[in-house]
Amino acid sequence: MRKLAFGYSTRCNIRCEHCVATDDIPDNRKMALQTAKDLIVELAQAGIGGISFSAGEPFLYLNDMTELVQLCSQIGIYTRIVTNSFWAKTSESADSIVTGLKENGLCQVRLSYSRWHQKHINRNNVLNAARSCQKIGLNYFISFVTDFSQEDESHEQFLRDHGLTFFPEPVIYAGRAGDFKRRHIQTDYQANCCIMNPYLSPDRDMFACCDAGSHFTKTNFFYLGSLNDNTIEQMFVKSETNRLYNLIRTMGLTPIASFAGMTSRDIISYGKCDLCRILFNCPESLTRLWTNLPHMEAWCR
Ligand code: SF4
Ligand code: SF4
């Protein structure tokens, strides 16, 4: 099923230190509501079955989100909203908002949570939001962004103590987190495949990766183009037929890194997105990978 991270607006009401947003100046780009509605109809025609309304903070435009979710529901698109839970100060306010969205067809909420988010938003907001979802029957999960340091253990314990559904997610060392001190990791020698959901920005630019991909500025490796010059179908076909993207999806970043000459000892000290950046946000490395693509595709056991 084709899926898309839909960037309706880049505006956020908080400023997390780890956010992949880079600008010092507040970034307040937003799509017009009617443009978003027209795009959603086009997305359905192109076979997109799931939309995740992602960062900035979509709940800043609650009325617009309600209309967009309702439209998606009418035309059979699964919807998720990613949020920092600022709106869930009390269980009453959380219940009222969750009820409204559920009635309009929202399928899932993803609640962002981390020691960085929680410097701005009381963690009880996340608890209120999750409890409302449980009560009202809206699917939810908590995305627990972590650098796996000891500091994060009490935050994780809070989620466990309240029996909440959560999934740890490694912080991405891009944007404001670009200067963070990297954690020392030694993972298993695992493939590091990535499913790569595309991202659509408020300016109608599309990227093949919804996370740090739009920040690969040295090579623009993940940039698919603008919807001003391409149809949605063309962009998806570009994403689905790019041979290097397909190797990221199927072979994984670890074998690509090994093929590119990184030692196995070095490879296991990087997370997935970091490996991806080393390989694909370096013009020389990218040129080498394109040149050697047929050998790499045949490089299987
Ligand atoms: S990580 Fe999310 S909540 Fe935090 S500043 Fe970025 S968009 Fe806002
Ligand atoms: S591994 Fe690469 S393609 Fe996958 S999310 Fe990270 S930056 Fe994007």
Residue 201 lies in a domain: no
Q: How many domains does the chain have?
A: 2
Q: What is the DSSP string of 31-82?
A: --HHHHHHHHHHHHHTTEEEEEE-SS-GGGGHHHHHHHHHHHHHTT-EEEEE
Neighbours of 163 (CB within 10 A): 8
Cα(21) to centroid(ligand 1), Å: 8
- Looking at the structure, do residues 137 and 261 belong to the same domain, yes or no? no
Output the six-digit token pair for 40.
């959603």
Last residue of a domain, one of 145, 165, 183: 183
Beta carbons of 173 and 182 less than 8 angstroms apart: yes
Provide the domain limits for residue 145: 2-183
Tell me, using a 6 A CB cutoff, whether residue 15 lines ligand 1. yes
pTM (2 decimals)? 0.94
Provide the residue-wise pLDDT of the chain in tens; the chain has 301 residues. 899 999 999 999 999 999 987 655 557 889 999 999 999 999 999 999 999 999 789 999 999 999 999 999 999 999 999 999 999 999 999 999 999 999 999 999 999 999 999 999 999 999 999 999 999 999 999 999 999 999 999 999 999 999 999 999 999 888 888 888 887 778 889 999 999 999 999 999 999 998 777 789 899 999 999 999 999 999 999 999 999 999 999 999 999 999 999 999 999 999 899 999 999 999 999 999 999 999 999 987 7
User: Both 166 and 48 in a single domain?
Assistant: yes
Does the Cβ of 117 fall within 6 Å of ligand 1?
Answer: yes
| Residue 81, ligand 1, Cβ within 6 A | no
CATH number of the domain residue 65 falls in? 3.20.20.70
Distance 272 CA to ligand 2 centre (A): 7
Q: Identify whether 156 is part of a domain.
A: yes
Which residue among 156, 183, 210 closes a domain?
A: 183
Chain centroid to Cα 76, Å, comes to: 22
CA of 96 to the centre of ligand 2 (A): 36
Q: Is the CB of 57 under 6 A from ligand 1?
A: yes
- Residue 261 shares a structural domain with residue 176: no
